[in-house]
Amino acid sequence: MHISNLIDAFQPAAGPPPRKLWGFIAWALRGSWPVLVAAAILSALAGVLEVLSAVVLGQVIDAALASGPGQFFSDNWLILLGFAVFFVALRPLSFGLAAAANNIVVGPNVTPLVLSRINRWTLGQPVTFFDNDFSGRIAQKQMQTARAVTDVASEFINTVAFAGASLVGSVVLLLSINPWVAASLAVWLVGYLSLIRLFLPAVRKRAAAQASARAMVTGQVVDTMTNIKTVKLFAHDRFEDRAALNAMATFRGRAIEFGTVQAWFRLSLMAVAGILPVLLIGGTLILWSRGTASAGDIAAAGAVSIRIAQMTGWVSFVLMSIYANLGEVEDGIKTLTPPHSLTDAVDARELGRAQGDIRFEDVSFAYGRNAGGIDKISLHIKPGEKIGIVGASGAGKSTFVALLLRLYDTEGGRVTIDGQDLRGLTQESLRRNIAMVTQETAMFNRSALDNIRYGKPDATMDDVIAAARAAEAHEFIGDLEDHSGRKGYEAHLGERGVRLSGGQRQRIALARAFLKDAPVLVLDEATSALDSEVEAAVQSALGPLMRGKTVLAIAHRLSTISEMDRIIVLDAGRIVEQGTHSELLEANGRYARYWTRQSGGFIDVKEAAE
């Protein structure tokens, strides 16, 4: 097995992510700890060898002074051989192994390990989680947090373990020279660590604020780019520019605050670092003047003190980076780790292929508010029944469908399918049984083939083409070509299907629903974006698609649902009328008024309700 596979980069996490810093890091890195410890040991070994290099140098100098120029090489060939082996082979090998562990094993694997776990948890959040934030900000937080955890692990291995071992080795070396010299290093180290403890909480706090501001800039820019057509249509380039500049100004302010703390930290630590060579070399010179230290001891103490002084700047920079990354991780935890508010029951059952018997039993849902949504709805939809749903904007149509899909849990009553409460089923198995085509069709920036095949990922090419033909989409797909020269079913559709017209997107979505072939079909103004000729063709194609399925069709154009088995009229979250088209016209109620007004030239039932 190649060393790059020592960490399983896509191993699932155990349980939900903790909301405390160190618990979260332990969760994110679980499964990789043995390898991380081994990498830290290799790095520590390299740190010890760095101190030993000063010892070896001191021995060579003492040997040279003891034997003199004439006898030096003949008397000390064994010491010189050890010197050469140490610097040419042993030291480079140690550093090479440490570098390989960090750069081949740890770095490339920890980021996807952490990111896959965060992303998997985020995908499990309900739709309200995404409705309440910028999608770009969420994506930025995921990448930012995964990178920060990786940097903490890598820098700890690469620097803290190395520097810690170097310091311990330095203390041992100085003890061999004189305990007082070692004591001076210990005193200096206490002052150094105290200074770190003073500054790093501020570094961590400022880093978290900067990370939050950076993510907000990303969210603002992505939000603008996603809605660029609206920006252009309203001529709001300057307005969006100001919004972006405001977010950037906030980020700039946070970056200046962070940079100011960094500058003072570095200045203070470098001043403290300058004291160390004076203490160690000066102390050793005093001992040498008294005959209790050799010239080699002076060289060893000097090499160690200068190396530690140099390392102080490096370590201070790395510690700032570690604490800054910890701040970014804490900021990511706030956004990315809320508990899932819509979960499967512990004993949730898999729903096989449903018959499509749906019941709403005294169901109420108002999004946690006192009004809106639906109120005490009871309705039985038989298997294979075709239901039309009509009502003004805000009447509860979308809420009705969202509860069927269990995008939310009911606040009162229950919804069942084939006699089973939706809350007792797994969400995935429920939604596999429901195909939905919405008015605002969702498209991925992938090929037309991938977008259609999303309805059934293992579908053959023949299946995809048959679905596209049924949805009147095959002909225009054949004419597609993207900016990379990909054509037909391989052409990419652009972000949210921007390369297609509204009607073309709708037909791709219909093809996806044809391919999914679920027993329950939900049509939310599924043909609203089609011109009359194409709509007529698609309406004809919908016949085979609906055959044998339970269908719920939301419509504003009443002509599209007039042939349904039953029509439900919603108003203020309640069912106010239901029956066939002819029965509702004969009742001369709200539906009849909608029909009359549309027949008289009104385009949308929303207008009829106003």
pLDDT tens digits along 198-250 = 887 787 788 778 877 887 888 788 778 777 767 877 788 888 888 889 889 99
Among 47, 43, 153, 162, CA closest to 108: 153
Helices (H), 156-294: 161-177, 179-226, 228-233, 237-289
Q: Are residues 361 and 328 in the same domain?
A: no
Q: Are residues 304 and 427 in the same domain?
A: no
Q: Are residues 361 and 236 in the same domain?
A: no
Please give the single-letter amino acid code of residue 187. Answer: V
Q: Are residues 225 and 328 in the same domain?
A: yes
Give residue for tokens 């947090």: 145
CB atoms within 10 A of CB 207: 29
Q: Are residues 245 and 176 in the same domain?
A: yes
**Lowest-pLDDT choice from 245-259, 330-344, 592-606:** 592-606
Q: What percent of the chain has pLDDT over 70?
A: 88
Q: Are 401 and 524 in contact (CB under 8 A)?
A: yes
pLDDT band at 14 (very low <50, low <70, confident <90, very high): confident
Distance, C-alpha 488 to centroid of its chain: 32
Answer whether residue 189 is part of any domain: yes
Answer whether residue 43 is part of any domain: yes
State how far the Cα of 388 lies from the Cα of 381, in Å rounded to an integer. Answer: 11
| pLDDT recorded at residue 58 | 67
Q: Are residues 329 and 373 in the same domain?
A: no
Q: Are residues 188 and 253 in the same domain?
A: yes
The residue count for the chain:
610
**Is the per-residue pLDDT at 173 higher than 60?**
yes
Question: Could you tell me the CATH number of the domain that includes residue 413?
Answer: 3.40.50.300
Report, in this order, helix, strand and coil percent for the chain, each rounded to 5. Answer: 65, 10, 25
Give residue for tokens 């200046």: 256
> Which run of H or of E encompasses 574?
strand 574-579
Three-state SS for 73-139 is HHHCHHHHHHHHHHHHHHHHHHHHHHHHHHHHHHHHHHHHHHHHHHHHHHHCCCHHHHHCCCHHHHH
pLDDT in tens, 84-139: 887 888 888 888 888 888 889 998 999 999 999 999 999 888 888 887 777 778 88
Total domains present in the chain: 2
pLDDT band at 384 (very low <50, low <70, confident <90, very high): very high
495-531 in b/e burial notation, b at 16+ Cβ within 10 A? ebbebbeebbbbbbbbbbbbbbbbbbbbbbbbbbbbe
Q: Are residues 120 and 191 in the same domain?
A: yes
Q: In this structure, is the dihedral angle defined by the CA atoms of residues 569, 546, 550 and 426, taken in order, positive or negative?
A: negative
Give residue for tokens 């297609």: 500
Q: Are residues 405 and 257 in the same domain?
A: no
Q: How would you classify the pairing of strands 412-417 and 566-571?
A: unpaired
State how far the Cα of 316 lies from the Cα of 479, in Å rounded to an integer. Answer: 60
Give residue for tokens 């970014």: 328
State how far the Cα of 120 lies from the Cα of 114, in Å rounded to an integer. Answer: 10
Answer whether residue 460 is part of any domain: no
pLDDT in tens, 439-483: 777 788 889 999 999 889 999 999 999 999 888 889 999 999 988
Answer whether residue 6 is part of any domain: no
Question: Could you tell me the CATH number of the domain that includes residue 211?
Answer: 1.20.1560.10
Q: Are residues 238 and 165 in the same domain?
A: yes
Q: Are residues 231 and 358 in the same domain?
A: no
| pLDDT recorded at residue 1 | 65
**Is the per-residue pLDDT at 378 higher than 80?**
yes
State how far the Cα of 350 lies from the Cα of 352, in Å rounded to an integer. Answer: 6
pLDDT in tens, 57-93: 767 776 776 676 766 666 777 877 877 887 888 888 8
| pLDDT recorded at residue 21 | 92
Parent domain of 243: 19-336
pLDDT band at 174 (very low <50, low <70, confident <90, very high): low
pLDDT in tens, 177-199: 667 767 777 777 788 778 877 88
State how far the Cα of 600 lies from the Cα of 518, in Å rounded to an integer. Answer: 37
Dihedral of the CA atoms 60, 63, 64, 65 (nearest 10)?
A: 130
387 or 74, which is more confident?
387
Q: Are 113 and 11 in contact (CB under 8 A)?
A: yes
Q: Look up residue 392 and give its DSSP letter.
A: -
Answer whether residue 160 is part of any domain: yes
pLDDT in tens, 259-270: 888 788 878 877
